[in-house]
Amino acid sequence: MSGQLPGGFAELEAFVEQWDLITERERHTTRLTAPIEQSNALYDALLPQIEPIAEYLADFDINALPAPEQSLLNLALSFMEVSLTVECLKSPTVPGGFAFERFEVLF
Amino acid sequence: MTAPEDRLIIKLPTEVPDMGTDPLPIEPYISADFFEKERTQVFAKAWLNVGRVDEIPNVGDYLVKRIEVLNATILVVRGKDNEIRAFHNICVHRGMQVTAAGCEKGNAQGFMCGFHAWVYDLEGKLTHVPGKEYFPDTDFDGLQMPPVTLEIWKGFIFINDQEKPKKGLVEYLGGLGDDLRGYPFETFNHIARYRANVNVNWKTFIDAFHEAYHVAEVHKNTIPDGCNSPDNPNAVPSSARIYPPHHAVSVPLNSAYVPTPAAALAWKFGASFAPGDMVDLEGLNPSGDDNWWFDINTLFPNFFIDVGPGWYFTYHFWPVSVDETHWEMNIYQLEAKTAAEKIAQEHTKVLLRDILYEDLSTMEQTHQSMKSRKLDSMIVGEMEIAVRHQLYEVMQWVDGKGCME
């Protein structure tokens, strides 16, 4: 798949299929169930891009983003979702934490 | 080892009741008999939060709240006159609920019982009975769903099981309400909700959330050094305010905290839960502490409003039985106007949520241990003053000496 992100961010296209998710619940479920290598790859690719993404999206109304821009924002939100896994936990789930199957994320 | 005289001082600007220094008895946390007393002496008398006005902004919007400890299902409705009222979700005919099973919120012009189609308006009054002529001996005038006492403070909707509570809501909240009065709750957006059902007593659950002594160990994987600093390795609270039956604890900040790359981005873009620049909002840090992070506000008996610089969150701890508690967390942040602010908010959400997985991990093992009755009491230190005060108040109320008698 190509052409789903705004032009300047074409190198992130590879992450769209897995991480272009609109709700926190979807992003969280993906992080919990994906192998950590996939979270690491997203994190590494997005970290240097977060500031350019924020700068690029500053010209748009965030409540009415066109589809490519919304996808870009969703990737940035997925970056934050995996940030704990990559930076702190070194694990998709919280080590020693409450069972995620019993923890309900409503939004 | 630190000599006792070198210990950090917790500021206690309010009068502290004489709560003693003995270990706390375990029995109130595991006794079914005690739980029945809490039901009638605490939950049936206290003001209980059931939501915020922003959840039902339009005429006809309603919430359905199942409150197991009161054996009640409450309907909170915004009427045609824009007033918010509460009723027991009970059809006066034969007691069926007037909303569908599992319904938590919605919008309606009125309510129709799904049993025999009796109809109620948004003010709870019975307006239509099919086959009314077959009830010749019934006076239908003035029949309505049983009303529930309701008051609103700063947009928070509270109900009370008493028809005429001893104290109104503002008087009940007292000094804690005064401290929080200036905080701009109404300007925040609701950004997250989490829930879990945990096999633990409600008080044991609560007690993990109003001290910071546990942070270094329980939160060692998420934010071990948020409040633990070289100067304050045990995260001794900088201040605690006792406003019986409520209390507040201010959590210290580790000023040497080094943010992760994601936390640093969040602070560059907006605000994060991770320590960072302080945003000056009225109602924060009432004791004027140095190295202040956030305030934990415990509204007796089961509601928390933790306020910080650019975010606040709430916890509800709803007892289901002596051994089970339904927990809910809601997170609120100032409206994100830009993508950058939205990305920053996501960091707060994710960090708090993962912290909560850690907090919830201790509950069931602790409760199981308590139930073994191998310990009669638990040891509580000065840093855990809120734990002591919570049980002190519950015991007072159960003994008929609470502030709502």
Domain residue ranges of chain B, discontinuous segments joined by +:
8-37+175-398, 48-164
Q: Residue B192 and residue A81: Cβ atoms within 8 Å?
A: no
Q: Residue B262 and residue A80: Cβ atoms within 8 Å?
A: yes
Dihedral over Cα of B273, B278, B284, B289: its sign: positive
Beta bridge partners of B120: B111, B126
Domain assignment of residue A52, yes or no: yes
Is the pLDDT confidence value at B263 over 70? yes
Give the Cα separation of B337 and B314 in Å (integer).
23
**Per-residue model confidence (pLDDT) at position A1:** 46
Domain assignment of residue A34, yes or no: yes
Domain assignment of residue A104, yes or no: no
Minimal CA separation from B138 to chain A, in Å: 45
Q: Residue A98 and residue B360: Cβ atoms within 8 Å?
A: yes
**Per-residue model confidence (pLDDT) at position B4:** 60
Number of H-type helices and E-type strands within chain A: 5, 1
What's the mean pLDDT in B200-205?
Answer: 98
Give the Cα separation of A102 and B203 in Å (integer).
20
**Per-residue model confidence (pLDDT) at position B319:** 98
Please give the angle made by the CA atoms of B399, B36 and B305, to the nearest 5 degrees: 80
Q: B-chain residues within 8 Å CB-CB of A98?
A: 196, 198, 356-361, 363
pLDDT band at B196 (very low <50, low <70, confident <90, very high): very high
**Per-residue model confidence (pLDDT) at position B224:** 80
CA nearest to A69 within chain B: B339
Q: Residue A94 and residue B357: Cβ atoms within 8 Å?
A: yes
Strands B147-153 and B84-88 come out as: antiparallel
Per-residue pLDDT reduced to its tens digit, B282-291? 999 999 998 8
Residue among A24, A47, A81 whose CB faces B192 most closely: A24
What DSSP designation does B20 have? -
Q: What percentage of residues in chain B have a pLDDT greater than 90?
A: 88
Beta bridge partners of B312: B307, B332
Q: Which amino acid appears at position B68 of this protein?
A: E
Domain assignment of residue A45, yes or no: yes
Per-residue pLDDT reduced to its tens digit, B44-86? 999 999 999 999 999 999 999 999 999 999 999 999 999 999 9
CA nearest to B363 within chain A: A98
Domain assignment of residue A1, yes or no: no
Q: Residue A50 and residue B265: Cβ atoms within 8 Å?
A: yes
Q: B-chain residues within 8 Å CB-CB of A53?
A: 339, 343
Please give, one letter per residue, the 3-state secondary structure of B56-103.
CCCCCEEEEEEEHHHCEEEEEEECCCCCEEEEECCCCCCCCCCCCCCC
**Per-residue model confidence (pLDDT) at position B44:** 98
Give the Cα separation of B88 and B218 in Å (integer).
40
pLDDT band at B3 (very low <50, low <70, confident <90, very high): low
Domain assignment of residue A66, yes or no: yes
Q: B-chain residues within 8 Å CB-CB of A50?
A: 265, 343
Residue among B194, B197, B358 whose CB faces A97 most closely: B358
**Per-residue model confidence (pLDDT) at position B309:** 85
Domain assignment of residue A2, yes or no: no
Residue among A54, A89, A102 whose CB faces B339 most closely: A54
Average pLDDT, chain A: 96
**Per-residue model confidence (pLDDT) at position B5:** 63
Going by C-alpha positions, the residue among B258, B231, B225 that lies closest to residue B9 is B231
Is the pLDDT confidence value at B6 over 90? no
Domain spanning B8-37+175-398, CATH architecture: Alpha-Beta Complex (3.90)
pLDDT band at B281 (very low <50, low <70, confident <90, very high): confident
**Per-residue model confidence (pLDDT) at position B230:** 87
Q: What percentage of residues in chain A have a pLDDT greater than 70?
A: 97
Total domain count, chain A: 1
What's the mean pLDDT in A14-31?
Answer: 98
What is the ipTM metric for this complex?
A: 0.97
Is the pLDDT confidence value at A2 over 60? no
- Distances, alpha carbon B282 to alpha carbons B183, B236, B288, in Å: 5, 24, 12
Interface mutation target, options B354, B355, B367, chain A, most CBs of A under 10 Å: B354
| DSSP track, B230-294 | TTBTT---SEEEEETTEEEEEEE--TT----HHHHHHHHHS--SSS-PPP--TTS-TT--SSEEE
**Per-residue model confidence (pLDDT) at position B310:** 85
Q: B-chain residues within 8 Å CB-CB of A104?
A: 194-196
Interface mutation target, options B269, B333, B346, chain A, most CBs of A under 10 Å: B346
**Per-residue model confidence (pLDDT) at position B207:** 97
Q: B-chain residues within 8 Å CB-CB of A79?
A: 262, 343
CA nearest to B331 within chain A: A107
Minimal CA separation from A52 to chain B, in Å: 10
Quote helix, strand, coil % in chain B, to nearest 5.
25, 30, 45
Q: Are A71 and A21 in contact (CB under 8 A)?
A: no
Domain B48-164 sits in CATH 3.40.50.300: no
Interface mutation target, options A84, A90, A93, A105, chain B, most CBs of B under 10 Å: A84
What's the mean pLDDT in A66-74?
Answer: 97
By residue range, what is the domain housing residue A70? 9-93
CA nearest to A101 within chain B: B196
Minimal CA separation from A102 to chain B, in Å: 6
Q: Tokens 């002496």, residue?
A: B41
What's the mean pLDDT in B303-330?
Answer: 96
pLDDT band at B2 (very low <50, low <70, confident <90, very high): low
Average pLDDT, chain B: 95
What's the mean pLDDT in B31-48?
Answer: 98
